[in-house]
Structure 1
Amino acid sequence: MFKSFTAAALVVAAVSMPAFAQPQVGAAAPDFRAKTASGESVKLSDYRGKTVVLEWTNKGCPFVQKHYKSGNMQNLQQQAEADGVVWLTVNSSAPGKQGYVDGEAANAEMKEYKTSPTAYLLDPKGTIGRGYGATATPHMYVIDKEGVLQYMGAIDDIPTAKIEDVKGAQNYVSGALAALAAGKSPDPAATRSYGCSVKYPG
């Protein structure tokens, strides 16, 4: 669902690492390590000093399609990038399940939907997703410059798959980013995510 790769848009695959506690708003976001398609090692902590958004995705999910076909997700990514925010798209679908992609397929999705994440993370073993307690696509997390989780939950307040419902919805992610930019805490800081279940292994 995303544009062709640039230096700022890397496909990465999660590598195994010890289990970590479920994240909590106001606490340090769990770090994770990943590898790019070319073998480069990447860690969440590499982005310390910048606000980070984590977005769980699955191209086959109608709730994800709602936000991409309307251009809503792309607009959020572009605005975040313009403001110096790191945007990491995460795919935790397991091989053989809906939404699974390898690096080539992720590249095709980015090109098809003209998206601009900082990186597209491949998490076929569900290491990152389960570590963050991601239950739905999309499931959103906002981490501040100090590495503290400041928001987690739904992308907005209208839990449907209808494209027409994007307009007029309260977007929790843009609200959280605006609050942090103003030196404030997001309100709400946590909401119930909605969408398709993450297609984990097993």
Structure 2
Amino acid sequence: MEEHKYLDDLKEIRQMMRRSTQFLSLSGLSGVLAGVYALIGAGSAFKILEAHHLQEPYVILESYTFKKLIAIALGVLIASIVTAYLFSSYKAKRNGETLVNTTSKRALYNFALPLLTGGVLCVLLLRNGHYGLLAPMTLIFYGLACVNVSKYTFGDVHYLGITEIVLGLLAAYFPGYGLLFWTLGFGLCHILYGGIMHFKYERNRKK
């Protein structure tokens, strides 16, 4: 009986230590929904590009088509951020934790630094007309952000990051297929890894 109590105490101490060093309020379902948003956005972008190429072979920075593509990308990004915030807030509240703490701030910093660096680089590439590098760069830097933040959250995020980096390199190697690799990376991979995280860490815990 005492041995069982001792093991329970050790388990509780271990969980407390893990909570103090890792951001565990990240929701797998928010990842799934982010993937769904990305698939919807990619489908819309494909239709817009298909209609555009019937009239002109290239999309330039000043074109209305490009502005629509940027609007779609921003819409997907904002919807994903809002969803992640809402689901993570709910999960933190359910677990009796606060969403904003030292660990979450550390995780956010390590995630945002590579992501913002990649964002600035993408803007510079756009200004110089290197449109074909946008998909590879967004995938690669998002992957680096995931790898960088993985030490402060679930380990599965590390493998998501590696997958995104590989897809980004493939997108750079096969020019002209950027939208396809972008769809795989931000759409299908988010759904896959989000589903894995949900069943691995959330659904089983509910039971």
Q: State the TM-score bracket (shorter-chain normalisation).
A: under 0.3
Asked which structure has the greater CA Rg, the reply is: 2
TM-score by length of 2: 0.25
Considering fraction of residues, name the structure with more strand: 1
Considering fraction of residues, name the structure with more helix: 2
TM-score by length of 1: 0.25
